[in-house]
Structure 1
Amino acid sequence: MKSTTLSTIQTQHASGISSLKQAPIKEGQVVHGKIKKLYPNQTAEVQIGNQKVIAKLETPLKAGDSHFFQVEKMAPELQLKVVTGPLAEGKSLAQQGQQLLQAMNLPKTIEMQAAIQYFIKQQLPVSKDTMMQVEQLLKQLPKDITMKAALEAIQKIVEMKLPLTSTMLQTVISGKSTDGLHSVLQNFQSQLQQDQTVVPTLKNNILQNLQKIAEPFNGPVAGAILGKQIEVLQDGQQPLATRLPILQTLKSVNVLPTTASLTNPIPITSQSAMLNSAGDLLLKFTQADPLEKGQMLEQLRSWINQQPSLTANQKSEILTLLKKDNQPNQLQVLKDALTKVFAEQSQQAIFSKDLNGLTPKDHLVSLLGKGSTMESVAQTLQQLTNIGSNSTSNNAIIQAEQQVIQQLDGKAFEHAMKEVLKSLGFGYEAKLASNSDEIRQLASQLKPQIVELLQNQSISSAVRESAEAVLGRMNGLQILSSENGPQHQLLMQVPLEFLGKKMDASLEWNGRMKEDGKIDSDFARIMFYLQLDTLKETVVDMQVQNRVVSITLYNNDTQLESLSEKFKETLKIGLSSVGYQLSGIFVKTFEEQKLASTLNAKAYTFDVQGVDIRI
């Protein structure tokens, strides 16, 4: 995404929340303040930034005057020392900066002048040590980093009380980048593939993880393939020449047990399955005492009725079998029927989830005795994908991909984003600290793998540099994610790839939490910054006030307005179903946006109670 377009909208957005963050004041720092009121004993009310404080002044001053003050003491009372004389009204930043540089005996280099003017403009506390550190950082800037970008990053570092080092500066600047992660990850992958010094096991694990990030729909595609194969295998009308190779293939990779046959492809097993999965309930029914059978039947009936991915006919088919108690081979008949319907829905309701978050493919794998955990389900499906990719015939994969494409919706995109974020390992430090059950999954995430890689001193400089770029980007996003009282900010970048289509999405979420710790969803601002194959540069600005939704699309394609009208009614119905009302859809070009920003710089200021999400 071009920074010129983003900066226009980002600047307007920032104007609405710039006062929410106040940099900390410490003893020895110099701050800009205005005398608001005078009190006895040389005490005064001083406006410093966006806050008013009561301070003890070293010398008598005049109400209404502005000065630069040095903080002498913070406790037991705030004491301020005058650094400069009264600042004349209308004095330029450059003039104020020169006055402060002279008073603090700081060098008047280009970098120092730029830094002091920026600190004054942003009302940041100043100290001699800090300004000397900032000057050195600005002198050492790489050619591809502008002074403006560096100063904005330095402001964030100062506000968050982080060390002013070149490494921290690079990390924060990387986190603020809107270039997306695709290019960074691709460069890392290319350098890693060429390096022969990396431990083979770690190298293969990282490359596999990068492949998972590039293929977030690998699981759904594999689920659709498995569903089709099981469907054919159970169909006795299919020719032997079609069914036998499928049976042999699934047995060879341990997807089906060795006891599976053409006459009984899905035999009863005693393998454990995920809680509340079809395989789990069937196993409990198998192991139940005769006196408990009736209760288990009722549980099964209730569970079938609550499955959102099953059609009415499929539910009726299973429920009819459950009424036929004491029939020969009842368990096998029931298992075959459950396998059949979930094999069908692994193709027809790919992204549907039940109340426990399980999809049809999860239930299907559990019935095959291979789904004791979500990890084992993923491993089983991965085995199937590997076979497909090595096969001379790709018809099954092509058909499964088409089924996935036809069902792409909100749930599909949610799935893709979760898969990518989990593989990247953005929150891996939080899981380490929380003793989460997911700790065992950390080894398969990219971030801890890169940390391990960088501990190897023998890797090439090219691999180290590219690995540090990826790690710096993720660390930068985490550093820029923060909370300030009820205000929260979260930054993420998600490299999305949909079956050959690539899209970089940058996400920024700024929101206010309610007293119960939940987001106030009545007020929101959601912004999507996207680079799309067809529409190219696109911004979707969605604003919510009292659950009334207004959407503005920014794009230079003149046909977008007429195209958006076709989806307006569908969008209105969808929003209404979750308790929101659509007020309108507006389409503007980026040039119109720039004109609007010139006429009204506060056009996009939003209520501080709201939520801001940028994707």
Structure 2
Amino acid sequence: MNGITAFQTMMSGVRETSTRHGFKEGQLLIGKILQLFPDQKALLQIGQLQLVAKLEAPLKTLQNYVLAIDHKSGDDMILLKMVEEIPEPNATAKGMAGEILTAARLQKSPGALKLAESLVRNNIPIQEKQLVSALHWLQGVSPAQKDKAYQSIQFSLQQGYPASEGVFRSILEAMDDKPMILRLQELGRALTKEDLPGEAASNLSKVIESILKKPDEIAQAKLYSVIDAAAKGTDSEEKEIANVILQKMQAAQNKFDAAGTILQQGQPKEHQELSTVFPVVFKQEGKPVIRERAGLTEIETAWLLKLAENSSGGLEEGSHVKQLLAFIADKLGMKDEFHVFLSLKSDQQGDLEKEFHTLKPLLIAASKETEIPEIKEKAEQLIHRLNGVTFLQQEHGPLQTQWMQIPIHSEWMKSDLSIQWKLRKKANGQIDPDFCRILLYLDLTSLKEMMVDVQIQDRVASITVHNNSQHLKQLASKFSGELKNQLQEIGLNLSIFKVKSFEDKLYSGDGTGHKFGVPAERAYQGVDLKI
């Protein structure tokens, strides 16, 4: 499951209502007259929002109307004109949706009624051309994606984005349950099948390959350093075995595929050559397993497994996870837009294409370069996926909500790590580090679906881990002291650390049938990741 579908839950929990500053001329909305004032002014109820506006014509109190935003009057007050009076029998969400469509001169098709009803229920003003554009896009959406497509439109209009098919599709792709890592693998295989002449396709294939390989590279670089240390140690028996393994790795370096290649930045050249064919070690049900033995004997294999078990040769240390996330974020091109701004500001546009060797610009270039339908379609899906994550960013006054999705391929996780930050800005515009909330969603091999909720207020942290494993509470208690010490090193005090199961009532989505999914319970086997 794609963790970004969790944003549906966030949307259902907090209904944002447009303020008067967000209203645009020509928008239609449903309003109820609460009180009349002199000079054709009135107090209106628009969803949960109450405001005073100027009316173009006298209206009745306690009556619902379809109103159109005309313009602001001289005193900076919104001027509304009456489009339709809503009869009492139609004063329901469904009835008012029909009135909105009538006012917009649109047919009351089932799709149009459903869309208009969702907008009425969420108090979202709408323009006729926005409805037309949204309904036109919905016609090309598959039935399986229809419900999420309505949510995509609702979110787009709620945030004030242009009512374009590109925006709608991007947000829909961001909600796709298929992990980004699987889409990268599919595109990588499609690129490998075809002998493409263009430079963009070749560079794109290399970037995808580097993203897929990086977890193994980091884990094996650590294990290599342990073997190398044993080869230089004082124990004669261990030195002998370690040196034999290093020699066999060197001799076999051309016999294994590139999945074992380690090009760790900063690693000595001779070590790069030795580690080209590295026995790939990973943990399965808590025990290290060798996927590729590089011609090792049973004794050498047993020694290496013991070494791996004692050295925790996987991605379990915070520094390794940080290294992995930083690498993938860089390859996804999350800083590209900032570099574009700097380049344009310094009038160095000519070097932009040379500088960009990250995923998003290469996807755009490859989709333009190729005529192969499969590659073009898969590249465009990923382009929209990356754009959609950007569109999910929100800002309400001093509060910001930011999203990031990191595709990870390893033995402990073949999914995406979805991260949501809720941040607060200071008066000077800088982010306040004393107040934030971080939500992390990931799908692990052993623990399955997990969400970590970190809330920080006045440098005090409370952490809640949501997971359905029966034994995670006992395991988490063993690490709570270490977690507390680590947080203290960065100036944070841990007040609460608890593990809870997912609650269907809490993560039930918005009634459309799309949940923040919870799989069937499964007993815990092995530790996937230390937080």
User: Taking structure 2 as the reference length, what is the TM-score of the superposition?
Assistant: 0.74
Shift of 1:514: 1.9
Q: Deviations over 1:347-401 (max 9, x none)?
A: xxxxxxxxxxxxxx87x65xx7x8xxxxxxxxx98666546589956889x7897
CA contact 1:442–1:448 (8 Å) conserved in 2: no
In the alignment, what sits opposite 1:79? 79
Question: Equivalent residue of 2:432, what SS?
Answer: coil
Question: Equivalent residue of 1:216, what SS?
Answer: helix
Q: Distance in 2 between matches of 1:53 and 1:563?
A: 53
Aligned length: 469
Change (3 A) 1:597 1:32: closer
Change (3 A) 1:130 1:533: same
In the alignment, what sits opposite 2:194? 195
Q: Distance in 1 between matches of 2:331 and 2:274?
A: 20
- Aligned 1:324-343 pairs, distance under 5 A: none
Q: Distance in 1 between matches of 2:233 and 2:450?
A: 47
Shift of 1:441: 8.2
- Aligned 1:247-396 pairs, distance under 5 A: 385-386=275-276
Residue 121 (structure 2) pairs with residue 213 (structure 1): no
The AA in structure 1 aligned to 2:338 is: A
Residue 171 (structure 2) pairs with residue 172 (structure 1): yes
Shift of 1:500: 6.3
Q: Distance in 2 between matches of 1:103 and 1:412?
A: 58
Q: Deviations over 1:447-472 (max 9, x none)?
A: 222222112143x1111111111111
CA contact 1:189–1:207 (8 Å) conserved in 2: yes
Shift of 1:173: 0.5
Q: Deviations over 1:185-216 (max 9, x none)?
A: 111111111112343x5444322222221133
2:338 to 408, 430, 447: 430
In the alignment, what sits opposite 1:451? 364
The AA in structure 2 aligned to 1:164 is: A
Residue 184 (structure 2) pairs with residue 185 (structure 1): yes
Q: Distance in 1 between matches of 2:276 and 2:19?
A: 51
Q: Deviations over 1:527-583 (max 9, x none)?
A: 222211111122233334444443333333222233322223333333344322323
Q: Deviations over 1:381-435 (max 9, x none)?
A: 8666546589956889x78977572673222211111111111213322222123
Q: Distance in 2 between matches of 1:204 and 1:383?
A: 24
In the alignment, what sits opposite 1:24? 22
Shift of 1:223: 7.2
In the alignment, what sits opposite 1:515? 427
Question: Equivalent residue of 2:31, what SS?
Answer: strand
RMSD: 4.3
1:581 to 473, 494, 499: 494
Structure 2 unaligned spans of 5+: 251-263, 280-291, 512-530
User: Whose strand proportion is higher, 1 or 2?
Assistant: 2
Change (3 A) 1:441 1:514: farther
Q: Deviations over 1:147-168 (max 9, x none)?
A: x311221123324444433333
Residue 454 (structure 2) pairs with residue 557 (structure 1): no
Residue 92 (structure 2) pairs with residue 92 (structure 1): yes
In the alignment, what sits opposite 1:56? 54
Shift of 1:63: 4.0
Change (3 A) 1:232 1:175: same
Q: Distance in 1 between matches of 2:466 and 2:29?
A: 40
CA contact 2:134–2:163 (8 Å) conserved in 1: yes
Q: Distance in 2 between matches of 1:505 and 1:163?
A: 28
Deviates more, 1:67-76 or 1:446-455: 67-76
* Structure with bigger gyration radius: 1
User: Whose helix proportion is higher, 1 or 2?
Assistant: 1
Q: Distance in 1 between matches of 2:157 and 2:405?
A: 24
Residue 105 (structure 2) pairs with residue 105 (structure 1): yes
Q: Deviations over 1:444-503 (max 9, x none)?
A: 312222222112143x11111111111111111112224343222222211123466434
Deviates more, 1:408-417 or 1:211-220: 211-220
Q: Distance in 1 between matches of 2:172 and 2:510?
A: 25
CA contact 1:428–1:442 (8 Å) conserved in 2: no
CA contact 1:84–1:99 (8 Å) conserved in 2: yes
Question: Equivalent residue of 1:18, what SS?
Answer: coil
Shift of 1:130: 2.1
CA contact 2:277–2:294 (8 Å) conserved in 1: no
Q: Distance in 1 between matches of 2:224 and 2:473?
A: 39
CA contact 2:2–2:416 (8 Å) conserved in 1: no
Q: Distance in 1 between matches of 2:382 and 2:10?
A: 29
1:492 to 404, 411, 430: 404
The AA in structure 1 aligned to 2:165 is: S
Shift of 1:126: 2.2
CA contact 1:568–1:585 (8 Å) conserved in 2: no
Q: Distance in 2 between matches of 1:516 and 1:385?
A: 50
Shift of 1:141: 1.5
The AA in structure 1 aligned to 2:68 is: Q
CA contact 1:69–1:81 (8 Å) conserved in 2: yes
CA contact 1:180–1:505 (8 Å) conserved in 2: no
Q: Distance in 2 between matches of 1:401 and 1:420?
A: 25
In the alignment, what sits opposite 2:154? 155
Structure 1 unaligned spans of 5+: 250-360, 371-379, 599-614
In the alignment, what sits opposite 2:68? 70
User: Taking structure 1 as the reference length, what is the TM-score of the superposition?
Assistant: 0.65
